[in-house]
Amino acid sequence: MNNSNEKGSTSYVRGIKDNYIDQLHGDFQLISEMVLTQIKLASDLVLDNHNKETIPQLKRNEKIINSLDVTIKEKVINAIMLFTPRASDLRRLMAYHDMTISMERVGDLIENIAFALEEIDFSLVGFEKYKKPIDKMFVQTDKMLKNALFAFTGVNNEMAYDTILMDDKVDKLERKIERKLAEDFQNEVQSAKSLVNIMNLNSISYYLERIGDKAVDIAESAVYVIEGRDIRHTKESKKMNVEVKSREE
């Protein structure tokens, strides 16, 4: 009789834990969807950076992202305290915590990008052509984030490693924009508006490169959950980038 009661009690607690983690997963999916929406909205500003509806919408979404960030981290702490999770569950909980930090940071970076895009005057001579490389960076970082998130939710370590490899392309695009700006405008006296454009384009490419880094962080968290290995700060990512460069050469 006592054994039956104990089994029933254990099943009840396990059911509560599973429901709690399901809710946590739902919150993380929501913050992920919000961040991906933010990237789309910000990328639309490359084509039309005078759209008066986009910036307020970005600001509203950012408030939701910040609220979810607090909620998810609190739920992770509560889950650890309440359920004394097993190793696999604990890895997943810590991954939610770390990835939420990354997603919130991506939200901040997107907000910075949107403000920078709003200040740019692409009609000035020599700046229209920068829309294409900036758009390429948006496409690449968006793909990296989607792949990293799918790697986690779909328990796919191959896609996680693919995301890490893709970071090299974003780095190259960022360096290309920086180098091109220096080449195009170094021998001319620039107007105040042109200088603002140059600084903002440099900032945007840097922010997008940082979003790529955050996608890598999420991919590494996915590897941690799937394989139980922490590959952060190891030589593994650098090794993979070297392999990509050698194949391209």
Q: What per-residue confidence (pLDDT) applies to 135? A: 96
Band of the pLDDT at 163, cuts 50, 70, 90?
very high
Cβ proximity of 170 and 209 under 8 Å: yes
Mean pLDDT of 214-235: 85
Q: What does the alpha-carbon distance between residue 46 and residue 79 come to, in Å, rounded to a whole number?
A: 42
Q: Tell me the backbone φ, ψ of residue 13, rounded to 5 degrees.
A: -65, -40
Fold of 13-248: Methane Monooxygenase Hydroxylase; Chain G, domain 1 (1.20.58)
Encoded amino acid at 46, one letter:
V
Mean pLDDT, the chain, rounded, equals 87
Q: What per-residue confidence (pLDDT) applies to 82? A: 86
Band of the pLDDT at 11, cuts 50, 70, 90?
low
Q: Is the pLDDT of residue 249 over 50?
A: no
Domain boundaries, the chain: 13-248
pLDDT of 18-48, one tens digit each?
888 889 999 999 999 999 999 999 999 999 9
Q: Is the pTM of this model over 0.75?
A: yes
Q: What per-residue confidence (pLDDT) applies to 1? A: 47
User: 17, 36, 37: which is closest to 25 by C-alpha?
Assistant: 17
Q: Is the pLDDT of residue 238 over 60?
A: no
Give the Cβ contact number of residue 23 at 10 Å.
13
Q: What does the alpha-carbon distance between residue 78 and residue 73 come to, in Å, rounded to a whole number?
A: 9
Q: Is the pLDDT of residue 154 over 90?
A: no
pLDDT of 50-80, one tens digit each?
888 999 999 999 999 999 999 999 999 999 9
| Helix segments in the chain, DSSP class H | 2-47, 54-83, 87-119, 131-153, 157-185, 192-227, 236-248
